[in-house]
Amino acid sequence: MNGNKWVRQIHRWLAIAFTVTVIVTTVALVQEEPVVWVSYVPLLPLALLLFTGLYLFVLPHAAKWRSRRDTARGK
């Protein structure tokens, strides 16, 4: 697998991890004595999702920029 496929796979697994942490957090916070720090648990996978998502968002634009640059050079 090349780098882009790895990033896509990591992004998918992070999405699953984020969903699980949100469910666990919801269950933990509806308890009679909620543990408030649990509400911060989903932030790590969410931050990682942000970075991988931005990378995946920029990929098609970067390919266009590269093809324009190569065309301008005459390659």
CA–CA separation, 24 vs 20, rounded Å? 6
Query: pLDDT of the chain along its 75 residues, tens only?
Result: 587 899 999 999 999 999 999 999 999 999 999 998 999 999 999 999 999 999 999 998 887 887 777 677 766
What's the pLDDT score for residue 41?
A: 95
What's the pLDDT score for residue 32?
A: 93
The pTM score is: 0.79
Residues 27-38 as b or e (16 or more Cβ within 10 Å = b): eeeeeeeeeeeb
